[in-house]
Structure 1
Amino acid sequence: MVDSKENPEKPSLHQFEDSTVQDSFDDGVLKEKKIVADAEAVSLGFEGVDEKTVLRKMDIRLIPMLSALYLLAFLDRGNIGNAKIEGLIDDLHMTGPQYNWTLTVFFFTYCVFELPSNLLLKKLRPSRWLPLIMVAWGIVMTLMGVVNNYGGLLATRLMLGVAEAGLYPGVAYYITLWYPRHRAQFRQALFFSAASVAGAFSGLLAYGIAKMDGVGGYAGWRWIFILEGLLTVLVALIAPFAIHDSPETATFLTEAERRFVIHSLRIQNSADNHEMVQEDDKFQMRYVIDAFLDWQIWLGLFMYWGITCPLYGISLFLPSIIKDLGYTSSTAQLLTVPIYITAAIVAVIAAYVSDRRKQRSPFILFFMGMIGIGFIICIASAGRDVPGVMYFGIFVAVVGIYPAFPGNVTWLSVNIAGDYKRAAGMAIYIGLGNLAGAMSSNFYRSQDAPEYILGHSLELAFVVVGMIAAVVLRMAYQHINKKRDAMDPSEYPENPDSLGDRSPLFRYML
């Protein structure tokens, strides 16, 4: 294949609007490029389509509801940490290890049910499936507020994992059905930043709800579960009217805009803007098998664990870690707020820059480095009676976690081609990746308070391994891309564009 640097690329659709701001400032060249781009737009039926307008329409119609769904999911998943410091353990006569086990079992069912849920999302309509599982976990969350013993809490946490399993991998996959890969991380970050907002909101909400202690004969921690569960069910009833199934059926787009979006998705992975053949719409088991055998998923898992171990360790134990520094429960709840708000802002800014640069790995590695530095600060300050420094270390770690996570999920998702394979691959990746939650839920033991040296050290170890995996993954992608660049078209197999990410026409994003 001829190197694209030696031959000007055929203008892609996302360049129509910006075709007059290319590398050269020569008026004649610019005019010629605009004429070529406009001619291509007319020939493909996209005349008058403005990409910024299309993206704005999709952002307004898709992202707010997706963010609301994930905010509530993360709120319901992590509020047990807030309930703990409001008396949950004492009222249910639980030990520290029993509490950690209630955190762990959630991830077992969460992992197992992600793959079937993502395949059902592909088979069924997202506007039906996502609200349905949302109603399910809202009911489970409400019932968690009326359990009377350790067994009851354990059972509800197991069922919460079943119900919530389909949301994050489902929405992460759903975004790839609408946005091309160089536009995806910003939207993933907007969606995922809801998790950090949930962390902040959880502290504020728990602070307020805990004041209901004794109302109706229920303890304050019970009302945290009950009211947040009812809120989830209420939003789920609205969700079907705010979720659009696919670009093909999006009524808020014109016919030309729908064709533009579909074509943009089909050329996104090609070296020469060639429209890749899509897989059959009918499900076949070979797509799942292909995903299970894909080397990049298994290598990427170590990177994923390097981010999700700290993510879950912090989200489940942050109120307790701060309280053990010497603060009251109320103050600890409130001190979680600035950490999460800052993390959300940084995540969105980082994703915007990453999309503009069309690079993933440099940003992932930078923010994973921040996570590591944060835990090093925590370990170094342990036992020195400097709670402010420990708090700062946690602050740095969290601000690294929330930009790194959407980056790593987006990086893998855009490098898997084929709708069913991507749906299966992302479910496998996120499902097995979330076993990190099962591990990290046991890192912070009550007997290690307030230093938690063991927990911080284990998190640091996972971050280091994850960074090594990210470097190896990038090097592997670079090697394959260069190998494919050097191939002659005569060496291509028959129907190369039907091979997905194994096609010599496919280029991995770095």
Structure 2
Amino acid sequence: MTTVATTDAVAPSRSIEAPSAPLAFDSRGVPISEDHARVWRRGVRQLDWRTVPPLTLLWLANFIDEYCSRSAAFQDLHLKGNQFSIALAIFYISYIMVELPSNFMLKRLSAKLWLPLLVFSWGIVTIGSSFVKNFAELAVIRVLLGVCEGGLLPGIPLYLATMYPRYMVQVRIAYFYAGASLAGAFGGLLASGLLQMDGLGGLAGWRWIFAIEGIATCAIAVIAYLWLPASVEAAKFLSTEEREVMLSAIDWDTHSMRVRNSGLDPIVLDSNNGYSQGQEMTHQLTWESKEIADTTTAAAIKEKEAMGAVTPAVSRGGAGAAGRVLEQEQFEWREVRRGLTEIQAWLSGIAYLCVCICLYSYTLFLPTILRGIYPDISTTRLQLLTVPPFVPATIGVVAVAYAADRAKMRVPFILGCLPFSIIGYIILLATSDPKTKYAAIFLISLGVYSAVPCILTIPINNSAGYYKRATVNALQLMVANCAGFVATFIYDAKWAPDYTPGHSVVLGALILAWILIALNGLYCRWENQKRANGERDSNWIRYQELVDQGLTKAPIGDRNPAFRFTI
């Protein structure tokens, strides 16, 4: 068996420069060599600095927009009946419709351009919100806002999945999602302050909220565009050595499917990585200086290229990077269909829908709920009371993400977090004591916010192949965001001050979410056992038949019998 250093053209007679030691990884995906581990840690720190802050700013802008919409109330539009709730709900129609197409545009234009462009566009629309004069204009603005905002949440995890190994993704999602928790605090303070501008320049306070928030959103988008890297390969701030080690770590994490699909021996790995199908895999990714002169291998690569199974691409790295085979996956409706029929997309998507009924109603109606608890306090103090519950939520989001990535598990942490919110709603229904109810708000925030990054990471961890993953990721969110049609109507003023129907709906939704996530975990465990027992080995045969018939050029991805789902 020949161990081949990755090569972009796999040309006979290509010489590959050797570092001082073989590049191999432990079971966590960390380089074994201390020299390489040092380079890897340095590269991760630099990449974190260039990806996490701009993504956090983008998501912060999203949640501040939600809080501003909730705080504005559009007093001088003279909305009637449930028009305010309709205006909030109509946003989700366009929001849901654009999520899947947006993920495909992300691939075409790159996250560096597409994500900031989305945010800049909704900043312009938000500024326009400050000039609406009636319900019809407000409805149009909300639809346009949904078009602009819909692609951000599915796009961020998908982008991170291309930048980091899969068990480093949730912590990064948690970083930007912690921005949502901070937005809960900052949004309340911002709205409280901007409402004091009521009458300034002849404009109502809520109009100032949208104008200033829109301008800030556009500024954030420009900063993110300048800050965000398009890819690891294009990250000029990384040295050649850092880039190569980080790309190799991603290759290791995907058990070198690019090279497997090229007909070469796997670049791997160690015997503890969980991909061995019952046999030890002790090969290491080696960088020995050598001539790749095996004409049989070169011919095999050319044959695969001719079929389109692998398209070589030149890495932007230096000497070390010149030898990498990069998979340039082409769009196929077959991969989209695979994503639409993925059971985990539906289980986690419906579970997330139930969680979002809680999340959206909490985000949109927290001041309303607090008004029911404290009916006599001023509006300013009410806004200030919305701030403290997000502090434990912010801490919980990051702490749970670290623990989940370290354990390489998702479902147990979701099942552990949701009961905090469930208990919180039981308390709201069971007591009339204001202090106890306010304490319950803390529990709700802690549980639901901490669980969300785990749920968002499930499609990233458990699907492979860009378009399959993009579809599963978007489908999960398309299902989940239907929660907006429920959440915007369950805290009607006629149920004040206790809002028992609203609390009851959310409580039932959270219990259903817990059950569905448990089922998703049981399915993953069952499927992993089938693969370990060799009962999915025929997947290779079926995949090869598709390739031979010219029906697919996509990688085998998560159909690989060696692929293991994250529980």
Q: TM-score range by the shorter chain?
A: 0.7 to 0.9
CA contact (8 A) 1:310 1:459 kept: yes
Cα 1:16–1:321 shift into 2, 3 Å? closer
Residue 435 in structure 1 maps to residue 482 in structure 2: yes
CA positional deviation for 1:444? 0.9
Of 518, 521, 526, 1:471 maps to 518
Cα 1:328–1:257 shift into 2, 3 Å? same
CA RMSD of aligned residues (A): 2.3
Cα 1:126–1:99 shift into 2, 3 Å? same
Of 315, 319, 323, 2:371 maps to 323
Residue 82 in structure 1 maps to residue 71 in structure 2: yes
**2:357 match:** 309
Of 214, 221, 234, 2:219 maps to 234
1:189-240, Cα deviation, whole Å (9 max, x unpaired): 0011111111111110011111111101011111111110111112222222
**1:481 match:** 528
**2:160 match:** 175
Cα 1:96–1:394 shift into 2, 3 Å? farther
CA positional deviation for 1:324? 2.9
CA positional deviation for 1:265? 2.4
CA contact (8 A) 2:55 2:224 kept: no
Of 46, 66, 78, 1:57 maps to 46
Alignment partners' CA distance in 2, 1:242 and 1:340 = 27
Residue 459 in structure 1 maps to residue 506 in structure 2: yes
**1:272 match:** 275
1:250-300, Cα deviation, whole Å (9 max, x unpaired): 112222332332332233255337899876432222221111111110111
CA positional deviation for 1:97? 1.0
- TM-score relative to the length of structure 1: 0.87
CA positional deviation for 1:489? 9.8
**1:332 match:** 382
CA positional deviation for 1:491? 5.5
**1:296 match:** 344
**1:153 match:** 138
**1:499 match:** 556
Of 319, 323, 332, 1:284 maps to 332
Alignment partners' CA distance in 2, 1:507 and 1:367 = 24
- TM-score relative to the length of structure 2: 0.79
CA contact (8 A) 1:122 1:423 kept: no
Residue 508 in structure 1 maps to residue 558 in structure 2: no
Residue 213 in structure 1 maps to residue 213 in structure 2: no
Alignment partners' CA distance in 1, 2:201 and 2:234 = 47
**1:94 match:** 79
**2:244 match:** 259
Alignment partners' CA distance in 1, 2:30 and 2:63 = 39
CA positional deviation for 1:51? 2.8
**1:33 match:** none
1:94-143, Cα deviation, whole Å (9 max, x unpaired): 13411111111111110001111111011112221112111110011111
**1:450 match:** 497
Indicate the structure (1 or 2) with the bigger Cα radius of gyration. 2
Cα 1:168–1:15 shift into 2, 3 Å? closer
CA contact (8 A) 1:14 1:51 kept: no
1:248 counterpart SS class: coil
- Which stretch of the first structure deviates more once superposed, 446-455 or 48-57? 48-57
CA contact (8 A) 2:39 2:241 kept: no
**1:419 match:** 466
CA positional deviation for 1:391? 1.6
CA positional deviation for 1:488? 8.0
Cα 1:402–1:186 shift into 2, 3 Å? same
Alignment partners' CA distance in 2, 1:473 and 1:301 = 10
| Equivalent position amino acid for 2:393 in 1 | A
Residue 123 in structure 1 maps to residue 108 in structure 2: yes
CA contact (8 A) 1:269 1:508 kept: no
Cα 1:67–1:48 shift into 2, 3 Å? closer
- Which stretch of the first structure deviates more once superposed, 165-174 or 320-329? 320-329
Cα 1:430–1:163 shift into 2, 3 Å? same
| Equivalent position amino acid for 2:251 in 1 | R
The count of corresponding residues between Structure 1 and Structure 2 is 469
Of 97, 100, 104, 1:112 maps to 97
**1:379 match:** 429
Alignment partners' CA distance in 1, 2:205 and 2:471 = 41
Residue 189 in structure 1 maps to residue 200 in structure 2: no
